[in-house]
Chain A
């Protein structure tokens, strides 16, 4: 799994480095730089071909669109991961709290109903059996 990403990362790094060097050549262009620039242009196309090849290996990878929004805003996309994990934990705790409360409520209700309607509750227990321990 990691190899796929390493391969893509390596190609992207080479591609970015090539673009950076092209930027330097172009920023103060000299007539003698034309050959070098032409080479870099073709190297850029080779780089794009390499990145394109990596696409087949990464078809099963899904990136959430929200992560792109973070990048577009110039923010660290790890913040998105962080917020997702925090939200998941908070929701998990919330649901657990609800389940615990409902379980307590159920056992209390059965106890209290047993006091007021002992016969009916005995029948209820006969149908449902004893409650599993909460």
Chain B
């Protein structure tokens, strides 16, 4: 066993365990020679860079003092946990934004414009981002437009989709909110009834309910009825405003 040990470390350990003086605990003994010996011994197995020598010892003159093991105080880092790191990195605004008020739990609150049932876990339908990272799709590096021959593969049968695939574009029911949508969707072939549309209708209704307007309308009708037989040139397509002038 000792042979194996000696073969590993290159020399036999015949000196025995170092005494207290060798460790530097003896009073008034110079430290340098044992420390140097230790370093030589250690450098056999461990690379020099890995040996943490720590901060240098104080003055050589102070070796005879009672604090000969005293080392230089570590250089104080400018940035420690003593300073408020959120203020240091100018993150107060972000902190107040996210921690000052309650952040809504659902993903649809973060991405209200995104169609589909996005609050369901992605693992259920295999649409998770993790699976995209772990198993990236096998494809070319570039995207090229589909040619006429390729597009024949996308010829579909007439008729509605089977039941199980219809959920793709159905939006989950939303609570009525006063928030306005940030972006208006252009080129919408089948625009769903947006809150702005319904507001517009409501406004129209409100206008119709106005009693003054009702009176004016009645007056217009009466005038029309009176004038229509006498003035056959006047048609119903003319703006009503001109008749009031």
Q: Is A109 an interface residue (CB 8 A)?
A: no
Does A59 count as interface, using CB distance less than 8 angstroms? no
- Distance, CA A81 to CA B99, complexed state (A): 9
Contact indicator B99/A127 (Cβ below 8 Å) = no
Q: Does B73 contact A (CB under 8 A)?
A: yes
Report if A69 contacts B (CB, 8 A). yes
The winner among A38, A46, A52 for most chain B CB atoms within 10 A is A38
Q: Report, as a range, how many residues of chain B touch the other chain.
A: 35 or more
Task: For A131, give the chain B residue with the smallest CB separation.
Answer: B73
* A16 → chain B closest CB, angstroms: 6
Known: A24-B190, A52-B143. A79 touches B81 (CB 8 A): no
Contacts A24-B189, A24-B190 given; does A78 touch B81 at CB 8 Å: no
A68 contacts partner chain B, Cβ-Cβ < 8 Å: yes
Asked whether any CB of chain A lies closer than 8 Å to the CB of B31, the reply is no
Which residues of chain A from 72 to 120 have any CB-CB distance to chain B below 8 Å in the complex?
A: 72-79, 81-82, 85-86, 88-89, 91-92, 94-96, 98-100, 120
Instruction: For B151, give the chain A residue with the smallest CB separation.
Output: A38
* A127 contacts across to B, CB distance below 8 A: 58-59, 62, 65, 67, 70
Number of interface residues of A (CB under 8 A): 56
Is A58 close to B, CB under 8 A? no
Kindly list chain B residues whose C-beta atoms are within 8 Å of the C-beta of A23.
115, 168-169
The answer to whether B81 and A17 touch across the interface, beta carbons within 8 angstroms, is no
Q: Is the CB of B66 within 8 A of A75?
A: no
Question: Is A27 part of the binding interface, using a Cβ–Cβ cutoff of 8 Å?
Answer: yes
Contact B107 A92 (CB under 8 A): no
What CA separation (Å) do A81 and B103 show in the bound complex?
10
Q: Please, what's the 1-or-0 string for B104-121, where 1 marks a CB less than 8 Å from any CB in chain A?
A: 111101100111001111
Closest to A123 in B: B65
A-B contacts, 21 of them at CB < 8 A, read: A20-B169, A23-B168, A27-B169, A34-B156, A42-B146, A45-B144, A49-B143, A72-B123, A72-B130, A73-B121, A73-B122, A74-B118, A74-B121, A78-B103, A79-B103, A82-B98, A89-B86, A95-B80, A123-B66, A127-B58, A127-B70
Q: Which 4 A-B pairs have the closest CB atoms?
A: A95-B81, A23-B169, A82-B98, A72-B128
